[in-house]
Structure 1
Amino acid sequence: MDARDAVLGLWRTLSDRDWDGLAAYLTDDCIYVDMPVGPTAAARGPADIVKRLQVGLLDLAGYENHDGLLVAEGDAVLYEHSETWTFRSGEVVELPFVSVHRVRDGKVALWKDYWDFGTVVNAAPADWLEKLGSADTSWMFDATGLI
Structure 2
Amino acid sequence: MTRNEQIITDFIAAWSRLDAEELVQFFTEDGTYHNMPTRPVSGRAALTGFIAAFLKDWSSTQWEVLNLVSNGDVVIAERIDRTVVAGKPVDLPCCGVFEMRDGKIAVWRDYFDMGTYVGALKA
TM-score by length of 2: 0.89
Partner of 1:111: 108
Do structure 1's residue 82 and structure 2's residue 83 form an aligned pair? no
Partner of 2:56: 58
| Cα displacement (A) at 1:35 | 0.8
Partner of 2:8: 7
Higher relative CO (CA 8 A, sep ≥ 6), structure 1 or 2?
1
Shift in CA distance, 52/22, structure 1 to aligned 2, threshold 3 Å: same
Q: Give the whole-Å Cα distance in 1 for the aligned partners of 2:14 and 2:20.
A: 8
Q: Is the 8 A contact 1:34 1:114 kept in 2?
A: yes
Q: Deviations over 1:69-90 (max 9, x none)?
A: 00011000000001112123x3
Secondary structure, in 3 states, of the residue corresponding to 2:37? coil
Partner of 2:66: 68
Secondary structure, in 3 states, of the residue corresponding to 1:68? strand
Q: Give the whole-Å Cα distance in 2 for the aligned partners of 1:16 and 1:59.
A: 14
Q: Give the whole-Å Cα distance in 2 for the aligned partners of 1:110 and 1:2.
A: 17
Q: Deviations over 1:31-78 (max 9, x none)?
A: 1101122xxx21112222122122222212222211220001100000
Q: Which runs of 5+ in 1 are unaligned?
A: 127-147
Q: Is the 8 A contact 1:69 1:79 kept in 2?
A: yes
Q: Which has the larger radius of gyration?
A: 1
Partner of 2:35: 34
Partner of 1:95: 92
Bigger share in strand: 2
Q: Which one is further off, 16-25 or 62-71? A: 16-25
* Percentage of matched positions with identical amino acids: 30
TM-score by length of 1: 0.75
Aligned Cα root-mean-square deviation (Å):
1.7
